Structure 1
Amino acid sequence: MQFTAAEAETLKTILRWRRDVRHFRTDPVPEAVLDRLRQTMAAAPSVGNARPWRVLRVQDKTLRAAVRAEFERCNSEAALAYDGETRTEYARLKLSGLDAAPEQLAVFTETEPAAGRGLGRRTMPETLHQSTAMAIHTLWLAARAENLGLGMVSILDPGRMEGLLAVPPGWEFSAYICLGWPAFCDDTPLLHRTGWQENRPTDWTIR
């Protein structure tokens, strides 16, 4: 299939407007939209076509509260790594959408999936985690194309999350995702907008 210049431009627009969203409306996401996202995520590339990502849709209020408490614990510890004004700046950052996002997904990587029969990962088993990361990115772009926002919460302890959600042995925590309608749209990353870091793309190095 050959794509048109207009379609390529649409992809660039989606990539530019793909932001790590932390401010959500509480409106529910229709099940039909969630099903489309699930199917699109399944189309992501993976090593040996293993599709090692495992997704839990966290709806239980008690579990959500426990995740929020774990985030607060880890975030408080993270703040201690900074001194002075930097710690104050860090405290002002909104680093999760756990308070409002209507959908919350816990994503794990199965480390010994039967699918693929080990193809392509024997010398680089980390490609399973890389496959999960690509699936999350695929979901991220698909969500943005549906006018949804997605935010990934990384300030969590993987071992505690695995225990909290009682996952099977061999499932390693990869990400906790907040999903919903963004409270506002902005094509500038939060960390650039707040002055935490400069917007400088990484150069390619020639060898």
Structure 2
Amino acid sequence: MGHDDSFSGDERAVIYRCITERRDVRRNFLPDPVPDAVLGRVLAAGHAAPSVGFLQPWSFIVIRDQGTKSALHGAFTRANAEAAALFEPERAQLYRSLKLEGIREAPLLLCVTCERDRAGPVVLGRTHQSEMDIYSTVCAVQNIWLAARAENLGVGWVSILSLQDLRDILGIPDPIIPIALLCVGYVDHFETTPDLERAGWRKRLPLDDLVFSERFGALADKVAS
């Protein structure tokens, strides 16, 4: 008899719950350290992500030092002020009220990078879509996010940062691209809705408006939920 590699109904429910209850966490981090075994499982999940040409272009920088966190927070503060100035006054006021990072509060940070030439200049699957290695690294980030949620860890992706600041602070050489800076730690609770939705920044779009049949823009029948 062959190995049964199918998922049971209960197992499927857990996976979908994990996806649905994942949140971009930027507040309420607890000071409790993340055990090495837990971090190891989360990083292993990232390393199990799919990658173009089996390139595995990612690396993971684990950051716990308060001095490094302070430098990263300074870089965020500069970038955040620049970002606020791009919005219309009313929107800018709401923007400034948002909590957009937990760099100093989270017990640890993860920087996920992409080494584009890890397998040389020609990569299977990247010949006509050169960004596929970057997309692969983002798949690793998503794996980390979901594994962290299963471990009851909050994760927040901080994207309001200059890439050059990340390179300078973390010693990332020029050929390697910093893809994500993640705040990671236990939290006292997970919110039931995204922060930006609760703050009135954006609403979740209806799935039925985003599913097309055969051609872009041709609405399909309603998707069963």
Q: TM-score, normalised by structure 2?
A: 0.87
| 1:10 correspondence with 2:14 | yes
| 1:74 correspondence with 2:86 | no
Deviation at 1:41, TM superposition (A): 1.3
Q: Deviations over 1:72-103 (max 9, x none)?
A: 00000100011222111111100001121001
| 1:20 correspondence with 2:20 | no
Q: Deviations over 1:5-47 (max 9, x none)?
A: 2211111111111000011112111111111111121111111
| 1:123 correspondence with 2:113 | no
Match of 1:205 among 212, 215, 219: 212
Distance 1:34 1:117, change over 3 A: farther
1:182 equivalent in structure 2: 187
The 3-state SS of whatever aligns with 1:172 is strand
Distance 1:171 1:201, change over 3 A: farther
Letter in 1 for 2:212: T
5+ residue gaps, structure 1, are none
Percent of pairs with identical residues: 38
Letter in 2 for 1:164: I
Question: 1:44-83 maps to which residues of 2 (within 5 A)?
Answer: 44-83=49-88
The 3-state SS of whatever aligns with 1:175 is strand
Deviation at 1:116, TM superposition (A): 11
Instruction: State the alpha-carbon separation in 1 of the partners of residues 134 and 109 from structure 2.
Output: 20
Higher relative contact order (CA 8 A, sep 6+): 1
Query: Greater CA radius of gyration, 1 or 2?
Result: 2
Cα RMSD after superposing both structures: 1.6
The 3-state SS of whatever aligns with 1:78 is helix
